[in-house]
Amino acid sequence: MLRLRVLSPTAKTEDALAVLRAQPGATHVVVLRGAAVEPAGDVIEADVAREAVDELLGALCALDLDHVGGITLDELDTALSDAADRAEQAAPGDGADAVVWDELLARTGEDSRLTTTFLAFLTIACLLAAVGVVTDSPITVVGAMVVGPEFGPLAALAVGLVLRRFDLAGRAALALLAGFPLAMLITAGGALLGKATGLIGADAMSAADNVDFVYQVGPFSLVVALLAGAAGMLAVTSARSAVLVGVFISVTTVPAAGYVVVAAVLGEWGRSVGSLVQLAVNIVGIVFAAALVLVVRRKSWAPSAANRPLSPG
């Protein structure tokens, strides 16, 4: 279940309560009259079954409470209550399959930003990938996959394109188009330093047989990217974040970026181009599959969510 909190102007409180009473998936309704200071008004709280949240948010936003008041959601880990059990049973569908579209927009909106932290993680991941290539260490390459933060902007790009939230898509595209080149440039500096100091030998690439999969593009490269994109978007929309670790490990976006740089520094241009193609195939495949999953799941989407603008910031 999710904990819903609404800041409501006094004039709209009864209408908001009527919406909550009419929703069988809502329970534990509490009203604190005059408790809200900014914006001023009343505070309404309720516990809502996940599968009922999207419809409820649409009704509350139809009252303009997202503009004249405020609406927040928090994950509720434990609810020991017969009323909560009845609410979950009364709500249509299954909570594990429910999509809270406003939550999805907020989450992907946060992950799409080009931040210092995003750039730091992406750079570290590319450097790890470069070390894995030079040392012929698949384990280090897998570590780079896990560290890489690129699925956030990729998922945000898919969400923005499908839901026509072009501000979100633009932010995600900027994070990818600026983040990868910067991380690869820093990795190139590290590779050049390693080559100049003798840490990276001229024959380092020829001995890297265990990580050849990074630059060898084939039909299964696209298949894996499509499956990973679909699994990743299912994990994001169903709030099953543990699945994302497997998604990170399955695709070679960051390793391909690191391989491009090391191969170029060592003059292995064929492998460098192959890695670049691998990177492009993975990015396109992930975004396409993630968007396809969203299109399929959108059939049960409450129309009110489609018309609400993405919250700024």
CA proximity to 292, closest of 111, 159, 151: 159
Whether residue 67 sits in one domain with residue 116: no
* Residue type (1 letter), 169: A
- Tens-digit pLDDT string for the chain (313 aa): 899 999 999 999 999 999 999 999 999 999 999 999 999 999 999 999 988 898 899 899 999 999 999 999 998 888 889 999 999 888 877 766 678 888 888 888 888 889 999 999 999 999 999 999 988 898 999 999 989 999 999 999 999 999 889 999 999 999 999 999 999 999 999 999 999 998 888 777 776 677 887 888 888 889 999 999 998 898 888 766 656 666 777 778 999 999 999 999 998 899 899 999 999 999 999 999 999 999 988 775 544 444 444 444 3
Q: Is residue 116 a part of any domain in this protein?
A: yes
> What's the pLDDT score for residue 302?
46
**CATH number for the domain harbouring residue 56:** 3.30.70
Q: Is residue 108 a part of any domain in this protein?
A: yes
What ranges make up the beta strands (E) of the chain? 2-8, 26-37, 40-48, 70-75
Whether residue 227 sits in one domain with residue 168: yes
Whether residue 130 sits in one domain with residue 85: no
Phi, psi of 149 (to 5 degrees): -100, 15
Q: Is residue 67 a part of any domain in this protein?
A: yes
> What's the pLDDT score for residue 308?
47
Whether residue 131 sits in one domain with residue 72: no
Phi, psi of 204 (to 5 degrees): -60, -35
Q: Is residue 312 a part of any domain in this protein?
A: no
Whether residue 111 sits in one domain with residue 90: no
User: Of 98, 119, 144, which closes a domain?
Assistant: 98
Whether residue 264 sits in one domain with residue 169: yes
User: Of 75, 98, 121, which closes a domain?
Assistant: 98
> What's the pLDDT score for residue 77?
81
Q: Is the dihedral of CA 39, 68, 73, 164 positive or negative?
A: negative
Contact (CB, 8 A) for 60 and 71: yes
Whether residue 199 sits in one domain with residue 84: no
User: Of 72, 98, 124, which closes a domain?
Assistant: 98
Whether residue 114 sits in one domain with residue 28: no
Q: Which domain holds residue 37?
A: 2-98
Counting the structural domains of the chain, the total is 2
Long-range contacts of 105-110 (CB under 8 A, 24+ apart): 105/159, 105/163, 105/165, 105/168, 105/310, 105/311, 106/311, 107/236, 108/152, 108/155, 108/156, 108/159, 108/160, 108/168, 108/172, 108/236, 109/156, 109/168, 109/171, 109/310, 109/311
Q: Is residue 313 a part of any domain in this protein?
A: no
> What's the pLDDT score for residue 298?
78
Whether residue 260 sits in one domain with residue 115: yes
The two tokens of residue 215 are 């630059």
Whether residue 167 sits in one domain with residue 244: yes
